[in-house]
Structure 1
Amino acid sequence: MTTPPDYDRCARLLNQADGLLITAGAGLGVDSGLPDFRGVHGFWRAYPALGQARIAFEQIANPAAFAAQPRLAWGFYGHRLNLYRQTTPHQGFALLRRFAERMTHGAFVFTSNVDGQFHKAGFDAERISECHGSIHYLQCLDGCHAGIWPADDFQPAVDETRCVLTNDFPRCRRCAAIARPNVLMFGDWGWHDARSAAQQERLTRWLRQVERLVVIEIGAGTNIPTVRLMGERCRGELIRINPDEAQVPNGRCVPVAARGLAALQAIAQRLSAYEA
Structure 2
Amino acid sequence: MFSKIATTKSTDSYWDNIEKVKIKIQSADAVLIGAGAGLSASAGFTYSGKRFEDNFPDFIAKYGFRDMYSAGFYPYNTLEEQWAYWSRYIFINRYQNAPKSVYHDLYNLVRDKDYFVLTTNVDHCFQKAGFDKHRLFYTQGDYGLWQCSKPCHHKTYDNEPMIKRMVAEQENMRIPSELVPHCPVCGAPMSMNLRADDTFVEDDGWHMAADRYQTFVSGHKDLNVVYLELGVGGNTPGIIKYPFWQMTCENPNAAYICINLTEACVPAEIKRQSIGIADDIGEALTHIKNRFAEQTA
Distance in 2, matches of 1:89 and 1:54, equals 26
Task: Please state whether the residue corresponding to 1:233 is helix, strand or coil.
Answer: helix
* Structure possessing the higher radius of gyration over alpha carbons: 2
Which position in structure 1 is the counterpart of 2:89?
80
Does the Cα contact within 8 Å between 1:75 and 1:158 map onto a contact in 2? no
**Counterpart for residue 102 of structure 2:** 92
Give per-residue Cα distances to partners, 1:106-147, cap 9 Å, x unaligned. Answer: 221111111111111121111111111101111111322221
Cα distance change on mapping 1:12 and 1:162 into 2, 3 Å: farther
Counterpart check, 1:229 vs 2:242: yes
Measure the CA separation in 2 of the matches of 1:212 and 1:147. Answer: 38
* C-alpha displacement of 1:153: 2.7
Matching of residues 33-112 of structure 1 within 5 Å: 33-36=44-47, 49=59, 53=63, 61=72, 65=75, 69-83=78-92, 84-88=94-98, 90-103=100-113, 106-112=114-120
**What is the alpha-carbon distance in structure 2 between the residues aligned to residue 51 and residue 201 of structure 1?**
46
Task: Say what the alpha-carbon RMSD is for the aligned residues.
Answer: 3.1
Task: Report the equivalent of 1:214.
Answer: 226
Match of 1:122 in 2: 130
Structure 2, unmatched stretches of 5+, are 1-7, 249-253
User: What residue number does 1:3 align with?
Assistant: 10
Q: Which whole-Å CA distance do the structure 1 matches of 2:246 and 2:159 have between them?
A: 33
5+ long unaligned stretches in structure 1:
none
1:207 and 1:65 map into 2 onto residues whose CA distance is 41
TM-score, scaled to structure 1: 0.82
- Provide the C-alpha distance between the structure 2 equivalents of 1:10 and 1:163, rounded to a whole number of angstroms: 48
Match of 1:113 in 2: 121
Do the aligned partners of residues 275 and 21 (structure 1) sit closer, same or farther apart at CA in structure 2, a change above 3 Å counting?
Answer: farther
Instruction: Find the counterpart in structure 1 of residue 186 from structure 2.
Output: 175
SS class of match (1:245): coil
Pairing 1:254–2:275 present = yes
> What's the counterpart of residue 28 of structure 2?
17
CA distance in 2, matches of 1:36, 1:258: 20
Which one is further off, 89-98 or 48-57? 48-57
1:32–1:87: 8 Å Cα contact kept in structure 2?
no
Is the 8 Å Cα contact of residues 110 and 130 (structure 1) preserved in structure 2? yes
Give the distance between the partners of 2:266 and 2:82, measured in 1 at CA.
Answer: 37
Q: Does residue 29 of structure 1 match 2:40?
A: yes
1:95–1:268 contact (8 Å) kept in structure 2: yes
Q: Distance in 2 between matches of 1:70 and 1:249?
A: 46
Instruction: Encode CA deviations 1:5-62: one digit per residue, 9 max, x unaligned.
Output: 210111111111011112111121224321146xxx9998685636863668776555
